[in-house]
Amino acid sequence: IEELLEKSGESFCDKIFTRGEREYCDASSRARASHYAGRYAVKEAVMKALGTGWGEGVRWQDIETTRTPAGAPELLLHGETAALARELGITRWHVTITHDAGLALAFVVAESDS
């Protein structure tokens, strides 16, 4: 991700991340690439949990990582991605992100009431 940020910069960020994600990641110049990598990993994990991969109407920016007041990562879905999750009966998401030593990893759990 660090290389993509250096090479493609704005065009990469405009395509993948929401304004809120960009504001959060850009606020930390020291850990900027790590924060972007973590949010990218969340997006990939959500797409896999939905069973779509990078296709079938799921848009990168429809998957947004925010933070609770306590600082924990939280997931917001928008557009067709939110509609697909509702169709699948997903009512709650749990997300965790870790990044260390140049690596980023995210886990998401999709939960339904049924």
% of the chain surpassing 90 pLDDT: 71
Hey, what amino acid is at 68? T
Residue 107 pairs with which residues in a beta bridge? Answer: 96
Q: What is the mean pLDDT for each group of 10 consecutive residues in the chain (114 residues)?
A: 86 94 89 92 95 82 96 94 94 93 91 86
- Per-residue pLDDT tens digits for 56-86: 778 999 999 999 999 999 999 999 999 999 9
- The structure tokens listed for 21 are 């994600």
Please pick, among 15, 35, 43, 48, the residue that the annotation labels catalytic. Answer: 48
The pTM of the full predicted model, rounded to 2 decimals, is 0.91
Question: Does the annotation count 48 as an active-site position?
Answer: yes
Active-site residue among 7, 15, 78, 99? 99
Catalytic annotation on 15?
A: no
DSSP string, 80-94: HHHHHHHHTTEEEEE
Distance, CA of 66 to CA of 69 (rounded, Å) = 10
Phi, psi of 11 (to 5 degrees): -65, -40
| DSSP line for 5-59 | HHHTHHHHHHHH--HHHHHHHHT-TTTHHHHHHHHHHHHHHHHHHHT-TT-TT--
Determine the Cα–Cα distance for residues 58 and 2; give it in Å rounded to an integer.
24
